[in-house]
Each structure stands twice: as structure tokens, then as C-alpha cells.
Amino acid sequence: MTEPMHEVYAIKFGENPGGTRGEYFHGCAADPRDQSMQLDYYVWLVRTAEADIVVDAGFTAAMAQRRKRTHFRAPSEALALLGVDCAAVSQVVLSHFHYDHVGDLDAFPNAKFIVQSSEMAFWTGRFASRLEFHRLIEAEDIVRLVELGLAGRLEYVDGERELAPGVRVHLVGGHTPGMQIVSIATARGTVVLAADSSHFYGNVCGDAPFAVHTDLPGTYHAFDVMHGLASSPDLIVPGHDPEVLTRFEPVPGTEGTAVRIA
């Protein structure tokens, strides 16, 4: 039996136009260091015949102000442009716990959040307070995740899990210890939502790691896993690349915000 064909969308809710290549790329690939690069913020939607599965929860306007990011709308409002009723969503995948992926959790009051056990262990463990890790998260988000866990609303995964027929999460590590990606069976083939396993096309397609990681070999391992899963390299969707919005068809009426990947 063939797997069902699902729809996949990328939806932009914010941006950081002021970054440089030197900030974003590790090692040799960081040159020229002062080349300006825009970084976009997205959430993703997997639409199956039965349900909408959301990937990542973005961040709020208040957090955007605190971190000096451009914020166009709440992730939940961005999803609503595609007809998603966030109160009805039952599954939200959290790729990892950096502030720009877990900031708007309460917009999904009836969801279970799919997380890797190793991600929770790391951010509640001994090294999370160290500057180079702590600067990338918000304590209030981690506290909220602990509360959600105690309320039975975290679905812990250790490795791989099928969320619906043809929709799977895969632990890859590298960027964070519990970094996970999502593979989806679609009419175009298998799409991979990389999130921060590849911020830009230049990471996974150029074999050039992003500047931030907890495990550099793990970052390369993630590239290998994504290439192995995706039906073609152009079906790997980077987590922060502005080019996603130009490579795929805009959803009518949402130009500059939402594209249909498949």
C-alpha cells in the first residue's frame, strides 16, 4: 500500500535583516564575514486528510521586541491565514528548544508537543546555564515546557516516531542534542523539514555547518540523514532561508508569507 500524500507549507512570521555571513556560518564557510544575510523566521504546517500538524511554535511579539527582531504576526495568526484553528491542533512538533521555536506554546491549548527526550534532558541539565547555550533560550520557555511535561502534554520521542502515516520525526542532533527533523510523504516525493538542522540552503546543500551547534560531527550527520530521507535535495526545506519564499509557489492571498512546498 502506498503512503498517503500530504500537503506541506512554510509560513514566515518574522525576520532579522541585519545579520552577516560571519555570524551565521562556521569555519571556512564564514567568509566573506561582513557579507550581509537576512534570516527569516518560519513555522511549518503539515496538512493530512485527517488533521493539521504544526512544526514549531515561533516566538511572540514581546520576545521579538526584547531580542530586536522584526515580527509581522504571531505564529498562530500566520497559521490562521491557511485556515488552521490552533485550538483544534492536537500535535505540535518542537524541533528543538531555542527561543525562536518554542515561544508561542500557549497558542495551542489542546495540543501535545512532540519533543525528543534528549532535548528536554539537555535544557534542564547541568550545561544549560552556560552562556553559549543559555543565550539561545528563554528560561520562561523551558519552565513552561517543564509545566507542560508535568501536565502530561509532552510526547517524548527517543529517535524516530510516526505521527501519522507518512509523517515522521527523526532525531539528528548536531545543532542541539535533541534536534529533530520531520519527513513527509507528498505528491512531489519525501519532503524534509530541516528546521535548524540547516538554517540556509548553503548549509545542507553546501555541506557547510551553521555557526551554532553542540556537536559538529552531529551537524554533518544531520546533513547525511536529510539527504538520505529527501526524494531530492530541493525537497529539503531549510529553517531560516528567505529563498524558501521564492523557490516555492505562494499560497494565493498570502504572498511574501506562505508557500506551498508540496
Amino acid identity for residue 261 in this structure: I
Q: From 38-46, 95-103, 145-153, 163-171, give the range in contact with Zn ion by CB under 5 A.
A: 95-103
**CA nearest 163: which of 149, 183, 148, 145?**
183
Q: Are strands 70-71 and 7-20 parallel, antiparallel or unpaired?
A: antiparallel
Toward Zn ion, which CB reaches closer, 72 or 133? 133
CB 14 within 8 A of CB 260: no
Instruction: Find, among 212, 218, 176, 178, the residue nearest to 93 by Cα.
Output: 178
Closest separation in Å from C-beta 175 to Zn ion: 6
- Closer residue to Zn ion, CB minimum distance, 95 or 183: 95
**Closest approach of Cβ 139 to Zn ion, in Å?**
16
Give the shortest CB-96-to-Zn ion separation in angstroms. Answer: 6
Dist. CA 183–CA 142, nearest whole Å: 26
Nearer to Zn ion among residue 7 and residue 196 (C-beta): 196
Residues in contact with Zn ion, counted by CB under 5 A, come to a total of 2
Between 8 and 136, name the residue whose CB sits nearer to Zn ion: 136
Nearer to Zn ion, 166 or 173 (CB): 173
Question: Quick check: 6 binds Zn ion (CB under 5 A)?
Answer: no
| CB closer to Zn ion, 99 vs 185 | 99
40 vs 196, beta carbon nearer Zn ion: 196
153 contacts 110 by C-beta, under 8 angstroms? no
Site for Zn ion in 149-208 (CB under 5 A): 196
User: How far is the CA of 236 from the CAs of 30, 121, 149, 170, 209, in angstroms?
Assistant: 22, 28, 30, 14, 15
Beta carbon of residue 100, minimum distance to Zn ion (angstroms, whole number): 7
Spatial separation of the C-alpha atoms in residues 193 and 225, rounded to whole Å: 12
Backbone angles phi and psi of 78, in degrees to 5: -65, -40
Q: How far is the CB of 195 from Zn ion (least distance, A)?
A: 7
Spell out, one character per residue from 114 to 143, where the chain touches Zn ion: x when CB under 5 A holds, - when not.
Answer: ------------------------------
Among candidate residues 176, 170, 174, the one with its CA nearest the CA of residue 229: 170
Stretch that binds Zn ion, among 16-24, 98-106, 184-192, 252-260 (CB under 5 A): 98-106
Least separation in angstroms between residue 16's CB and Zn ion is 13
Stretch that binds Zn ion, among 16-24, 94-102, 160-168, 214-222 (CB under 5 A): 94-102
Contacts of 175 (CB under 8 A, 6+ apart): 96, 196, 197, 210, 212, 213, 214, 218, 219, 222
By CB under 5 A, residue 12 contacts Zn ion: no
Per CB under 5 A, does 98 bind Zn ion?
A: yes
Q: Which residues would be at the binding site for Zn ion (CB under 5 A)?
A: 98, 196
